[in-house]
Structure 1
Amino acid sequence: MTLARANPALTFPAPMDAIPRRLNRRVVVVLSVLGLHVLAVWALQSGLLRRAMEIVIPVQVMAELIEPPQPLVEPPPPAPPPPVAAPTPPKPKPRPIPQPQPQPVAAPEPMPLAPVVPPAPPAPPAPPEPIVSAPPPAPPAPPAPPRIELPSSNADYLRNPPPPYPPLSRRLGEQGRVVVRVFIQLDGTASRAEVQRSSGFERLDQTAVQAALRWRYVPGKRAGVPEPMWVNVPIDFTLKN
């Protein structure tokens, strides 16, 4: 025994009855592990483990959602009141000095107010001066109308005899003036004649027309150029005593 304690390498084999005890322990551990595995598999198949997880997980979630109560924060203590100063003794009141009573002063008469003259209204703006445009140029004077010379039967060289007095008109005492309208040609002859104003007697009117057609005339002129035109020829019928 002393040699074995002095040198641990020199150990003696264990006795034979100690080996079965060690084997029994290992067998028990292996069997218990196998039994736990079998029980876990059976629990998974039967749904017991899932129910246990469903029960455990909500409890943990609820535990996470519920916040722990926060600690109460105590308000700071109120500040101490300021020290109260000691009251000072009241000062003695001075005696009132008698004041002289004011004499009544006559109020000054109010000065008459000057009449307020309203400001004159501003003068209206002067109307703008009309723009005088230059007068348009005068239109050119129309040319003078050409000078017209009417035919005439009073020329001395014509020698037109007076119309014959109708005998019946003389006996009846018919007289008067007949105005005959005659158209004179360029050669001085009358181509047409008509009564312009009657004498009131048909015989005198017809005698005057026939006489006007037989007479000779000075042809009329326009701007010095002979031109056929109308002319009124008066013929008088008078009874001489």
Structure 2
Amino acid sequence: MRSQRQPPAASNRGTGIAIVIGLHVLLGWGLTSGLAKQAVDAIKKPIELALLPEVLPPPPPPPPPPKVVKIEPVQKIVPPPAYVPPPEVVPVVTPPPAPIQVVQPTPPKEPVVIAAAPVVAPPAPPPAPAVVKREISLACPGYEAVLASALEEAIDRVGIRGTVQTLIKIRGTQVVEVTPLSGPKEYYKYVQAAVKRMRCTAGGADEVQVSLPVIFS
């Protein structure tokens, strides 16, 4: 008998628990949906801003009116004219005549004669060296061999036939000047170089001039 009565009590308890849970769910849903709606409505409401009028400071008081000072004209006092005494009259005294002095004229001085400086004649130039003309064989012995060896290749290089007339000046034991006078100009430099190789002497004279014809054939 006891086993048959227990099932109805257990089913009643389960039904009560289910009802309580359902009430809690409904209550929670109602609270949640109501609060959410209120929050959405609060957000959707426009925000009103109140602008407060700016309080301006009171204007400063006006400046006091300027003081007017009256300037009275000063009367000028004209002084009386100063007393000017009349000028004194001084008698004019005529000075005595100046004494006349007789001055004897000074006799003229004798003119000073300045003697001209003596003219010094310039020193005479040194005498020109005595020039002696001499034969080439006496002034320059052995000249033919020197010219032959020095001018051996000149005829082959120039290839012109002719005679170069040359004037030689000798001082002491040196040939101081070689002047070509005529002939083919192509040989001038060869002749001058060859003549300066020759051994010449003035033989005691100051200067010896020698005429040398150089023949190219």
Normalising by structure 1, report the TM-score: 0.29
